[in-house]
Structure 1
Amino acid sequence: MAAYTFQVTDERLNRVLESESRRRGVSVSELVLGTLQDAFLDADEKRLRYDELDDLAGSWSHAEADEFDEAVRGFAEIDRELWQD
């Protein structure tokens, strides 16, 4: 599976992407991927759907979610020494 990273430098496009993703209830990444699939794949090709974790969505209590957030909080910290040349 390929991974792509891009920057939206056009603020108008950024606003449209964010607005449309909120309207559809999906992430901007899901919106962009779906749009690319619609534009470039044949109608007969099935859109890949990643839903194997759907049963877990919304199943945690607030306490469980808080515990998880606390456990992974350190993952958001960047160790600058690891990124030195």
Structure 2
Amino acid sequence: MTVSDSTSSVAYHSKPGESLADPYNIPGILLFFTGIVGLASTLTAAGYGFGGWTVLGAIATALSFTASIAVFVLEHERLRRLAARR
């Protein structure tokens, strides 16, 4: 369960999907979807034999997924600290 300070009056999200409505999760979600699009583009470039674009796409995809994980972890820690204060 995650904790929110703006979307719900309770400390924890009690219903599925409530954490997606938390505006602090939006950057992580967008970075994750950017990674998905980058992965699809990279696989398409690799399938057509464009080696340079494949390497560039793989780097961009890895950076997007790494950044999204970092944002999710930082948000989780922020919410954990908020819950500890309550």
- Give the TM-score, by structure 2 length: 0.28
Which structure is richer in relative contact order (CA contacts within 8 A, separation 6 or more)? 2
Normalised by the length of structure 1, the TM-score is: 0.28
**Is the helix fraction higher in 1 or 2?**
2
Larger-Rg structure: 1
